[in-house]
A and B are shown apart, each in its own frame.
Chain A
Amino acid sequence: MVETVLFFIFGIAAIFGAISMVWARNPVYSALGLMLTMFSIAVFYVSNAGHFVAAVQVIVYAGAVMTLFLFVIMLIGVDKSESRKDDLRFQRPAAVGLLGLLIAGVLIAGSAAWTTGTRQPGADVNGTIENVGDMLFRRWLLPFEITALLLIVAAAGAIALAYFKPGDEEGDAA
């Protein structure tokens, strides 16, 4: 019962956030709408006992949307709103068509029977973080560490690309 009520409240909130993210005239409200959607999805994770994923969702995406805010304030300016002139005339009808396709897809997928795996033993409701930790740091330790290394290399590469100019031998382009 609780799950159903939560689903309806936050499902509506998620859709409202997603629509206002695209619809809002002011980019700050777009960022807020995105955050509302992310937060509602985190609530779904909680109601499916994925507490760890929910917490990480809020931490990561709340931080990400925060940077969007800063981008908006610093790049677009404080009180400019977006113009609504539509240069690509076909995109609104195309959006409606795609929405129809999506709804059809959801309906078809929802009417089909789904094969799901059996429940893992030991994955009890109040132990998600222990299970995630166990998997990450025992069973899949090496892939996890390799992924971390890859991400660090990618971050360092991004900084190098942005920071060092071509032909700058010393690399102290501050």
Chain B
Amino acid sequence: MMGFLEDLLGNVFWQAVIKSVAVLVIILVVALLIVWVERKIVSDMQNRVGPMRAGPFGVLQTLADGLKLLFKESVLPRKIELGAYMAAPIAAMVPAFLIFMTIPIGRPFTVGETVVTFQGADLNVALLFILAMSSMAVYSIVLAGWASGSKYPLLGGVRATAQMISYEAAMGLSLVPVIMFASAQLGGASPALGTMSMSQLVELQQGSFRGFIPGWFIFWLIPSFVIFFISAVAETNRAPFDLVEADQEIVGGYHTEYSGFRFAMFFLAEYINMFNVSAIAVVLFLGGWLGPDFGLPGWIAWAMPLFWFFLKTFILVFIFIWIRATLPRLRYDQLMTLGWKRLIPASLVWLLLFAVVTAWRRFGAPWS
């Protein structure tokens, strides 16, 4: 058995196949769980019970809904542009899936000779890749909005472009201090050039200072974390930034004309994206899968990093849902003001400050 596993994981192609399938399974299970968790938390905050019938505490409700959507008729409206209409749900799922491929969810382990990472692919340009993929994600929404041949989806799609492009700028700027800090942490190492690889960023957060505060980046980079998180909420079109699909104004926004499983794909993509940005925040600021394993034996110690990763990520997902249940939706001009006049200047100022401090710590005062 062990020998077979070793051969399988030793082969690059089979390892890639196994990882891709694993990522797909994990991501779908996580999305189903998050939908259920969201319904339960929101209903709790609104003094309701939420789904209770399917499975214990209604945990299978999402699965039931998904099956229902799978078997429902997929209505094709008359005025659609067929090609783009069909492509849009796929274009929504693909970037979400690819972003998750780059996130390390656990400590690498060895099977025989090969080192197996809990990560689809350890890219050296991971952060840029994530930004690229999140800019690809806008396409699905605009395509869906345009191809539906209907007014409300078009409004949603056009809103989405403005919103996601604006907040992408703030998001990208808030990530620069992370890279600078990682480079400073690497300082003494032989290449001394810094890194963008997700797995290395996690490893740089190992250790602690003063014995009990973990060496996570968030303790140096709280402004970055706050800006990243706000723009992440806007990037994933979650309340209070859900103007793209504001039910009261434009029915369902870009997915108004979709039904059946095509709608379900948009729905899943939104929740996967929510998980993705939470996971990215965990990797960049909260130490990724790092956490104490309390000296537990064998496979428990092996599984502890996974536990810590999912715990941290689900705490951030909870904050997402909490925000959704608490804050009312922003007006459109408020959204743009927040993006361009608050977040981008704030992240620029923070970037400059941090650059000066980093340079000072590394090279000494300018007059010395």
- Number of residue pairs spanning A and B whose beta carbons lie under 8 angstroms apart: 71
A66 within 8 A of B: yes
**A133 and B194 contact, Cβ closer than 8 Å, known pairs A51-B124, A59-B135:** yes
Tell me the bound Cα distance from A134 to B194 in angstroms.
10
Complex partner residue of B161 from A66, A78, A128, CB under 8 angstroms: A66
Contact partners of A63 in chain B: CB under 8 A:
135, 165
Say yes or no: is A151 at the interface (Cβ < 8 Å to chain B): no
- Closest A residue to B137 using CB positions: A62
Closest to B12 in A: A2
Complex contact B139–A130 (CB within 8 A)? no
Q: CB distance A126 to B81 under 8 Å?
A: no
Is A15 among interface residues, defined by CB-CB distance under 8 A? no
Interface residues on B, range: 20 to 34
Asked whether B142 lies within 8 Å of A126 as measured between CB atoms, the reply is no
Choose the segment among A27-35, A98-106, A112-120, A161-169 that binds chain B (4+ C-beta atoms closer than 8 Å).
A27-35
Chain B neighbourhood of A69, CB < 8 A: 142, 146, 161
* Residue of B with least CB distance to A55: B128
Cβ 8 A contact of B138, one of A56, A58, A66: A66
Cβ–Cβ contact A66 & B139, under 8 A: yes
Determine if B158 is an interface residue (Cβ-Cβ < 8 Å).
Answer: yes
Q: Is the CB of A26 within 8 A of B136?
A: no
Residues of B within 8 A of A127 (CB): 124, 191
Q: Which residue of A lies closest to B154 (CB)?
A: A78
Alpha-carbon distance A58/B135, docked complex (angstroms) = 8
Contact B149 A79 (CB under 8 A): yes
For A, the interface residue count at a CB cutoff of 8 angstroms equals 27
A148: chain B residues within 8 A (beta carbon): none
Which residues of A (109-152) have their CB < 8 Å from a CB of B? 126-130, 133-134
Q: Does A44 contact B (CB under 8 A)?
A: no
Using known A-B contacts A62-B139, A63-B165, determine if residue A78 contacts B146 with beta carbons closer than 8 Å: yes
Determine if B154 and A32 form an interchain contact, defined as CB atoms under 8 angstroms apart: no
B132 and A55: CB pair below 8 A? yes
Which one of B125, B128, B135 has the greatest number of beta carbons of chain A within 10 Å?
Answer: B125
Chain B residues lying within 8 Å of A7, measured Cβ to Cβ, are none
- Distance between Cα atoms of A129 and B129 in the complex (Å): 12
User: B193 touching A70 by the CB < 8 A rule?
Assistant: no
